[in-house]
C-alpha cells in the first residue's frame, strides 16, 4: 500500500507516517519508484506508534521505544521501565488536576 492508501484506510495522520519513514528503523518499508510500500507488519507497528503517542509519549520517546521494540536483543525490561516512568508522570498529572478541582470546588462553595 502507498502512504496515501494507508492514511485513508487506517486513519493514520500523514505526519505519523512521515515520522515513521524518517526513522529508517524498518527494512520492511520499501521505497519502490519513489513511493513507500507498506505491508501488514508496518500497519501493526504504526498502530503501536499511535498508541505510544496517545499515552503521552513525545516524538523522541516514541522513537526510542520503537528502536528498542525493533531491536534484535531482549529489550522488554527497558520498554517496561519507559512505560512505568510514563505511568508515574501520568498519575502525578491526574493528582495535580484533582487538586485543582478541589480548589475550584471550594471557590464555588464560597460563592
Binding site for its own copies (CB under 8 A): 51, 54-56, 76, 79-80, 83-84, 86-87, 90-91, 93-94, 97-98, 100-101, 103-105, 107-108, 111
* Sign of the dihedral through C-alpha 86, 89, 95, 97: negative
Nearest Cα neighbor of 28 from 10, 14, 42, 15 is 42
Q: Which is nearer to its own copies, 28 or 90 (CB)?
A: 90
Angstrom distances, CA of residue 35 to CA of 7, 21, 23, 68: 14, 11, 16, 27
Q: Which is nearer to its own copies, 16 or 86 (CB)?
A: 86
Minimum Å gap between C-beta 91 and its own copies is 7
Burial (CB < 10 A; 0-12, 13-18, 19+), residue 95, is: exposed
Minimum Å gap between C-beta 80 and its own copies is 6
Q: Which is nearer to its own copies, 35 or 91 (CB)?
A: 91
Minimum Å gap between C-beta 73 and its own copies is 15
Orientation of helix 14-23 relative to helix 40-54, angle to 10° = 110
Q: Which is nearer to its own copies, 33 or 107 (CB)?
A: 107
Amino acid at each position: 500500500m502507498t502512504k496515501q492508501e494507508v492514511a485513508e484506510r487506517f486513519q493514520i495522520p500523514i505526519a505519523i507516517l512521515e515520522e515513521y519513514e524518517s526513522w529508517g528503523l524498518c527494512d520492511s518499508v520499501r521505497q519502490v519508484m519513489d513511493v513507500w510500500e507498506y505491508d501488514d507488519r508496518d500497519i501493526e507497528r504504526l498502530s503501536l506508534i499511535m498508541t505510544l503517542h496517545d499515552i503521552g509519549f513525545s516524538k523522541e520517546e516514541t522513537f526510542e521505544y520503537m528502536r528498542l521494540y525493533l531491536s534484535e536483543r531482549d529489550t522488554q525490561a527497558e520498554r517496561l521501565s519507559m512505560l512505568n516512568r510514563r505511568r508515574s508522570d501520568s498519575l502525578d498529572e491526574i493528582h495535580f488536576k484533582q487538586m485543582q478541582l478541589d480548589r475550584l470546588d471550594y471557590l464555588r462553595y464560597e460563592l
